[in-house]
Amino acid sequence: MHPNTTSRRTPFHDFHRAAGAKLVEFAGFEMPVRYGGDVREHLAVRNAVGLFDITHMGEFRVTGAGAAEFIHRAVTNDVLGMEVGQAIYTPMCRPDGGIVDDLLVYRFAAHFMLVVNASTTAKDLAWLQEHAPRAVEITDLSDETALLAVQGPRAEQVLRGHVPDAALQLGFYRFMEGPAFDAPAVISRTGYTGEDGFELYFHPRFAAQVWEGIVRAGATAGLEPVGLGARDTLRLEMGYVLYGNDIDDTTTPLEAGLGWTVKLKKEGFAGRDALLRQREQGLARRLVGFELDGRRVPRHGMAIESGGRPMGRVTSGTFSPSLERPIGMGYVESAFDRPGGTLEVVAGGSKLSARIVPRPFWTRGSRRS
């Protein structure tokens, strides 16, 4: 539970300490799990604005002749169709359709940036390097990249005057390079919360000025620092999957409801044959969202049953601060994937009654699409 001596610290460590954060070990980093309280931080993001240190995420730079074609073949989404200044979300699959990781791909004029999960950074780098043609160079920039997310309906208000005006005009999943709080940065209108917001990538040497600048600019907007605890409840209310919980090497994007990121018409990408076969044969299981009555909370790993028959397991569960009820996700046999269908979640000696509902659970976010 407590941070061990081998975990790495982000350049914002002292600010977390000063803000009273409870720090935990996460994917090799000592990260803030909460400051004031999960619910308070969660609601700050839904109603005002929150500041997240997500420096633990991994960043790769991909350059060289054929870089676009290489990434296009490595992931399931359409990379060749991307414009410069655009980011996309995409799974990256094994030949059997299992998910190596889910990531963001950023297209710059002459290179790409891939943003990957902290827990899979080393695996992803090895995977990509193994499959890259000789002319393509993949550089791990994770140690030279600090990453802060400013998320919430007042995110624009916080950044106004501290980033170029053009950055405030960015559409969802668009980005630009420019100064943020006087630091050279990649300013990206992306996030994992369902709210409007930005993610700022910059060199760690600017950590103090950017963090302090955001906190100062956010003071009148009700900005709060937000830990990994609320980051998880925010993403789960949106039904966003978390690698290692809801998806992994043994699940496919189609099963996880990520079909919109899989361009099956695209020739020759890793996992295509297996995913085509899976689509033709029909999915044996699907990831569903469910809500529960009462206050008992479904947790990762709990069994899901239907009429006493085993169905699968809960992959994510929490008490939703916005909906004030327990929610969860898990895999069930495809035949049971219908809104209103009922399931039981086995929580110790109790069976909790759950109802399948469409994702996202929370539909009132400020996110632009």
Partner 1 sequence: MAFPDDLRYTPEHEWTRLEGGLVTVGITSYATDQLGDVVFVELPAAGKQLEAQKAFGVVEAVKTVSDLFAPLAGEVVEVNAALADNPALVNQDPFGEGWMIRLKPANADHLMKLLSSVDYEKFVEEQHA
Residue 174 near residue 186 (C-beta atoms within 8 A): no
C-beta of 194 vs 271, nearer to partner 1 = 194
Residue 199 near residue 50 (C-beta atoms within 8 A): no
When asked if residue 224 is in the footprint of partner 1 (CB under 8 A), the reply is: no
Single residue of 233, 278, 315, 316 touching partner 1 by CB under 8 A: 233
When asked if residue 330 is in the footprint of partner 1 (CB under 8 A), the reply is: no
When asked if residue 34 is in the footprint of partner 1 (CB under 8 A), the reply is: yes
Stretch that binds partner 1, among 34-42, 195-203, 266-274, 308-316 (CB under 8 A): 34-42
Task: Write the DSSP string, 172-238.
Answer: TTBEEEEEETTEEEEEE---SSSS-EEEEEE-GGGHHHHHHHHHHHHGGGTEEEE-HHHHHHHHHHT
Single residue of 30, 232, 246, 344 touching partner 1 by CB under 8 A: 232
- Alpha-carbon span 315 to 106, nearest angstrom: 28
When asked if residue 38 is in the footprint of partner 1 (CB under 8 A), the reply is: yes
Single residue of 94, 123, 266, 296 touching partner 1 by CB under 8 A: 296
Please give the DSSP secondary-structure letter assigned to residue 9.
Answer: E
Take residue 242 and report the two structure tokens written for it.
């978390």
When asked if residue 193 is in the footprint of partner 1 (CB under 8 A), the reply is: no
Stretch that binds partner 1, among 92-100, 133-141, 271-279, 290-298 (CB under 8 A): 290-298
When asked if residue 244 is in the footprint of partner 1 (CB under 8 A), the reply is: no
When asked if residue 2 is in the footprint of partner 1 (CB under 8 A), the reply is: yes
Q: Give the bridge partners for 351, in sequence order.
A: 346
Q: Give the bridge partners for 316, in sequence order.
A: 329
Roughly what angle, to the nearest 10 degrees, separates helices 67-74 and 121-131?
Answer: 120
Single residue of 106, 319, 331, 362 touching partner 1 by CB under 8 A: 319
Give residues in contact with partner 1 (CB under 8 A). Answer: 1-2, 22, 33-34, 37-40, 42, 229, 232-233, 294-297, 299, 318-319, 321, 348
